[in-house]
Structure 1
Amino acid sequence: MTTLEQGQTAKVRPTARFMLEHPAHFLAQGFGSGLSPIMPGTSGTLFAWLAFNVLSSRWPQWFTAFNWSIIIVVGFFIGVWACQVTGRNMGVADHGSMVWDEIIAFWLVLIFIVPADFSTQCWAFVWFRFFDMVKPPPIRWFDQHIKGGFGVMWDDIVAAFYTLLLFALWRVI
């Protein structure tokens, strides 16, 4: 059993077998990136970054900012379902192996900053991870009070907003 920081204990260990048992698990666990034994949220965010850049450079005619926006909105709502199902099946509402929320939120950051050089994308990654881990207000409030799949997804969207706000202020100064 896996003990979590919120004092909850998962009924099911996050394994490849568990992930492959249901499409919701596969999605919520970021196609396997959430199964990383160390810092799964960071692994999920790295996966998001890699996937965004590979897809956007390989098929630029399909992966435009507009289409990414559609993917993000649809992905958010599908993620609410996937995280709800996976959390229920694991016995923990927001298990660390569920990283679809980081993926969708970081794609949101990237559609607003790209085209950007590697250094700028690195800073976006660092700041997003900072806001997602530290959870400054009101992110922490959302994380503690909004439960279920929507709560899992929403606090990362707010972390993405903070990241984008920081970049907007940085460009003004």
Structure 2
Amino acid sequence: MNPKKHLGTAQRRALLATPAGWLACGFGSGLTPVAQGTFGSLAALLPWLLLRELPLLAYLLVLLIGFAVGVWACDVAGRALGVDDHRSLVWDEFIGQWIALLPLLVPALLPASGFRWWMIFAGFVLFRLFDVWKPWPIRWMDRHLKGGMGVMVDDVVAGIFAALALAAGLHGLG
């Protein structure tokens, strides 16, 4: 059995027994048997609906704190599992997804017609695309950075790429 793919009952318990593990596995969304990153990204949309009401500076502060806490939580959880970047660790998807949706919070980036719900779907798809495809430098980071920082950074960059693509697409509509 590949330890990067499947969690045993003891590993699941170990993850859910600590605040670090609970956060790192995206409040349980990373414990699905398949497509953990996709389920983590989907789960990230729920708190985003509340976070989007924050002033932009507060939103950016949440991202910064979420990243820092994620480095710690994913490092602790990865050591507990014995795998640096286990598929069940999806807090990085939360932060990456929230970064990808950042253009939706900047009125100047929205088309004249304003915010539309399909834009969330577009941001979700773009983030998943960059997270799975891993163009340079994302692939390099994924392979060379270890521990909690390694778990988090490649998804932050995937989120930035997705945000830029989303902003460009929205600009094209405007």
Q: Scaled by the length of structure 2, what TM-score is found?
A: 0.84
Q: Give deviations 1:150-173, integer Å, cap 9, x for gaps.
A: 111000011011111212332444
Equivalent residues in 2 for 1:1-173, closer than 5 Å: 2-4=2-4, 14-15=11-12, 17-53=13-49, 55-56=50-51, 60=53, 63-114=54-105, 116-173=115-172
Distance 1:65 1:13, change over 3 A: farther
Matched AA of 1:51: P
**Cα–Cα, structure 1 residues 134 and 13, in superposed 2: closer, same or farther, change >3 Å?**
farther
Deviation by residue 1:62-106 (Cα, 9 ceiling, x = unmatched): x33222211110110111011111001101000000000010111
Equivalent pairs: percent with the same residue? 43
Residues 72 and 107, structure 1, Cα contact 8 Å, conserved in 2: yes
Count of aligned residue pairs for this structure pair: 164
User: Structure 1 residue 2: deviation in Å?
Assistant: 4.6
Counterpart amino acid of residue 4 in structure 1: K
Please, which runs of 5 or more residues in structure 1 have no aligned partner?
none
What letter corresponds to residue 101 of structure 2 in structure 1?
A: L
RMSD: 2.2
Shift of 1:51: 1.5
Q: Is the 8 A contact 1:12 1:89 kept in 2?
A: no
1:138 to partner: Cα distance: 1.0
Assess, with a 3 A threshold, how the Cα gap between structure 1 residues 12 and 142 changes in structure 2: closer, same or farther: farther
Structure 1 runs, 4 residues or longer, greater than 3 Å off:
9-14
Inter-CA distance 90–122: structure 2 relative to 1 (3 Å threshold): same
What's the TM-score once normalised by structure 1's chain length? 0.85
The Cα offsets for residues 11-63 of structure 1, whole Å up to 9 and x where unpaired, read as 87652x2232111101100111111112111111111112211x247xx4xx3
Contact 2:74 2:89 in 1 (8 A): yes
Would the aligned equivalents of 1:12 and 1:90 in 2 still touch at CA under 8 Å? no
